[in-house]
Amino acid sequence: MTKRKGTEKFGQRRLEVRNAMIKDIPGIAHLVRRVYEDMPAYTHGEIRGQINNFKEGCFVALLDDEVVGYCATMQLAEALAFQPHDWDEITGNGYGSRHDPTGDWLYGYEMCVDPKVRGVRIGRRLYEERRALAEEKDLTGIVFAGRMPNYRRFRRRVDGPEDYLDKVVEGKLHDPVLRFQLANGFEPERIMDGYLPEDKASMANAVMMVWRNPYVERDQPVKKRLPRGVEAVRVATCQLQARQVADYDEFMRAVQYFVDVASDYESDFIVFPELFTLMLLSFEEKELSPVEAIERLSEYTPRLRNDISEMAMRYNINIIAGSHPTRMEDGDIHNVAYICLRDGAVHAQEKIHPTPNERYWWNIKGGDKVEVIQTDCGPIGVQICYDSEFPELSRRLADEGARIIFVPFCTDSRQGYLRVRYCGQARAIENQCFVVLSGNVGNLPNVANMDIQYAQSCILTPCDFPFARDGIAAEASENVETLTISDINLADLSWARAEGTVRNLADRRFDLYRIEWDEDGKHPGKPRPRREPLGPKHPGGG
């Protein structure tokens, strides 16, 4: 434990229990590793999803500013909460993505307390927060699957897990977790076999524990309704014309013009196209080879990142700065989107899947991480062009809580554009989120990969009653430089996910399939071969 500093003032609060915040993620992850030494720890992405999907239901306890307790819950319908299930299935693989704001039960799926903290009743305080939340929301009760960590130790003295539970309830055997839950007013419902295979101490068993809200009397389960609220966000997508520029400053003036206009319209976001910085090659004395061009562009990275960040703060707008080739610390070139927020924070999202042309002509390597970015308008995701054609990435972002996915793209043909467009629409439907596309138009002689461009930037929606009839909130004219702006209502997504005609996120069959991510990089993928692609040296986007 962190020792108290001698300079602390009298009256300063040492213990705090509150809703978990994104800034608590490292402390929560460290706590979970300490508590569950024999089980896989949460990734930061999973904790981020738990908080983003239902912040009201996630609580932390801090002692002297150190996270010493954490619990996570979600609302579920009674039929789902009480049917046979395992931990992975009910939690959406740990992201808490099956939270249903119309559900009538509070389902607890994580509770951990630092074993070094004694005498402060951290666990009891967290349970009280859960109970207060259930009462505040007028829920029928709380249900969770509790561990039985002494079962393996006593398994030879009992006739199966049911007998073990009976003996613990009768006081003939001691189980610290079950005894604590019983003492806090929870009643055992039944044994759940195979609930958490990683829990060796419980031999994968758990006990369904139930607390019924004494202030609610119901003979039949009820389904709560989600109010149709308003959570407006204004989004601008810039369809940028490739143009000859005299120097870096002229390029930045072109970018600044559209940022200024979007800001005048009080937009919250503006997104630029993929590889929009290729215009910086137009004032080179000679046409550079693809390798030389990438090297030259990468030299602008620090200056570009700094200038766009300053622009975001000055114009009070979040800027998704297309993408820009960047040399990484290991020497590889990656295609990177820089997300500059209006509070001064700068984030980077690398392109995960370079196209065959990018790999062959430019030797661009793919990144290995995709995660949501927290903004003042909620969590967002960014996918660069070709990445939007791999549904696993968008699903990961949706699980972490993203409600808007921005897709900067660069395509030379209508076929390439339509691959991105159709996949963007599919991602909006299957993840019940907004998808914003932004592409380049025009041509730029003597710059490789900018010979011709095709784009029709757009703002796409799920296809359901609260949204535009054809799933298009707004779209630009084809191949014309313009700024397209639309208001979107994030609250409509919450309604659609809970009460829509279809509920793609909630209706997934977690008992049949799931996506496993290599979070620690211990099993890096094999290098992709640089096979020569068919056709000219175009980006081949989409």
Angle in degrees, 0-180, between the axes of helices 301-315 and 248-264, rounded to the nearest 10? 30
SS3 of 384-425: CHHHHHCHHHHHHHHHCCCCEEEEEECCCCHHHHHHHHHHHH
* Cβ atoms of residues 436 and 409 within 8 Å: no
Q: Residue count of the chain, please give it.
A: 542
In angstroms, the CA 241 to CA 273 distance is 10
- Would residue 410 show up in a list of annotated catalytic residues for this protein? no
Residue 291 region, left (φ>0) first, then alpha (ψ -120 to 50), else beta?
A: alpha
In angstroms, the CA 150 to CA 501 distance is 46
SS3 of 25-91: HHHHHHHHHHHCCCCCCCCHHHHHHHHHHCHHHEEEEEECCEEEEEEEEEEECHHHHHCCCCHHHHH
* Cβ atoms of residues 237 and 459 within 8 Å: yes
Rounded to an integer, what is the distance from CA 457 to the centroid of its chain?
Answer: 24
Catalytic residue among 46, 351, 433, 481: 351
141-146 and 472-475 strand pairing: unpaired
In angstroms, the CA 42 to CA 313 distance is 34
- Would residue 274 show up in a list of annotated catalytic residues for this protein? yes
Catalytic residue among 58, 238, 377, 385: 385
Going across the sheet that includes 141-146, the strands are 15-19, 58-63, 66-76, 105-113, 141-146, 206-212, 187-192
Catalytic residue among 129, 274, 350, 371: 274
Structure tokens at 159: 């006739």
Q: How deeply is 467 buried, as exposed, middle or buried, from its count of CB atoms within 10 A (0-12, 13-18, 19+)?
A: buried
At which residue do the structure tokens 């074993």 appear? Answer: 115
Q: How deeply is 155 buried, as exposed, middle or buried, from its count of CB atoms within 10 A (0-12, 13-18, 19+)?
A: middle
* Cβ atoms of residues 193 and 207 within 8 Å: no
What does the DSSP 8-state code read for residue 155? G
Rg over CA atoms, the chain = 26
In angstroms, the CA 325 to CA 299 distance is 9
Active site residues: 274, 351, 385
